[in-house]
Amino acid sequence: MKKRGINLLILFLIVILSYSLVSATGFSDLWGKITGKATSDTTSLNITVGNSAPTIPSVQAISAKNPTDGTTKSITFAFTATDTDGVSNLDDATPAAYFSKAGETTRYNSSCVLIGDLDANSANYSCTVNMWYFDGNGEWDIKVNVSDINGATGENSSTTFTYNLLTAMAMAPTALTWPSIGLSNTDTGSDNDPITINNTGNDNSLTINLTAYDLQGETTAIEYIYAHNFTVGVSSEGCSGTAMANATSTEVGSATLNKGNYSGNDGSTGQEQLYFCLKGLPQDISSQSYSSSGMDPWAVEIVT
C-alpha cells in the first residue's frame, strides 16, 4: 500500500517535469509548425474588478441640544465608514452630514473631516453642523454619507437627535420717551417707539403681554399718570391699541411673535413692533416729570 503511494507520487512528478520540458523547448508549438496555423494571437480583454460601496456602520449619538439665542449652535459628532476594498478606497473629501426635519431648512456640512483610520478597512470622520436659533424644536433626522474613489456612496440615516425649545427675545429701545405734553393733549404717541421685539429663539406663535405700572411724579410723589391712560398697539401711534391696567399682565391684542430670521429687519419675520400712546392726562396733576423709576419697570413678556 505504501509502495503504491510512492509509485503514484513518482508518476505525478514525471508528468509535471515532462510538461515543463516540452513547454521550455518550444515543442508546444509543434502542431503550429506542422500545420502552419497560428497557435497564438493578441486579443483585448476587458476585466471588470468588482467595487464594494462603502458602508457607515456607526454614527455617534447626539444628546439633546439647546438652541443658542440669536445665533447658531455648532453640533459636532463622529461617524465610522468602512470599505471592504481597503480604507484607502474611501474618498476623504466626500463625507457629509445632513440634519433634516419636515417643514424646516435642512442644515448640512459637506466638508466633514477625517479624524483617522481605524484599521485596514475603516476610518473615522468628524462633522460639525450649525443649527440656527430659529430652527424648529423636536426630533431631527441625521443622515451621513461618504463616497469611495470609484464614486460609490454609502449612507446611514438611522439616527436622530432632539433640538430643544428656546423661548427668547431681544428688544429695543428699553426706555420710552414722550415730548412735552399739556393737560389738554390727547393721543400722543411716544417719540422713540416702536419697541421692536426680536424672537431670538425657536418658540413659535408667541403672544405678547404687557404689565404696565402707574408713572409716579418725580417731585410730587403722590401724583400719577395712570397705566390706564396708555394704550399699546402694533401700528403707529398705538392709540387704537389695548388699554393698559396697573400691575396687570395684559395681552396686547393682535401682537404675535413668530420664529424666523429677524436679521432681515422687516418688522414681521421673527419680529413684532409695539407702539405706545398716551391717551390723555389726569386733569389734576401738576407740571413735573413722571417716570417708572420709583416703580417696577413695565414688563414686555413673550408667552408661549
CB of 250 to another protein, least distance (A): 13
CA-to-CA dists, residue 256 to 149, 172, 199, angstroms: 52, 17, 10
CB of 141 to another protein, least distance (A): 16
- Cβ proximity to another protein, 123 vs 206, nearer residue: 206
- Cβ proximity to another protein, 15 vs 303, nearer residue: 303
Please, which contacts does 184-189 make with residues 24 or more away whose CB atoms are closer than 8 Å?
185/278, 185/280, 185/281, 186/279, 186/280, 187/237, 187/239, 187/277, 187/278, 187/279, 187/280, 188/237, 188/277, 188/278, 189/236, 189/237, 189/238, 189/239, 189/275, 189/276, 189/277, 189/278
How is residue 72 written as a grid cell?
A: 447658531
CB of 237 to another protein, least distance (A): 15
- Cβ proximity to another protein, 46 vs 63, nearer residue: 63
CB of 253 to another protein, least distance (A): 18
- Cβ proximity to another protein, 112 vs 215, nearer residue: 215
Q: Distance of alpha carbon 260 from its chain centroid, rounded?
A: 13
CB of 294 to another protein, least distance (A): 9
The footprint of another protein (CB under 8 A) covers: 64, 66-71, 137-138, 162, 164-184, 190, 192, 195, 198, 200-201, 209, 211, 215, 218, 225, 276, 281, 285-293, 296-304
- Cβ proximity to another protein, 127 vs 281, nearer residue: 281
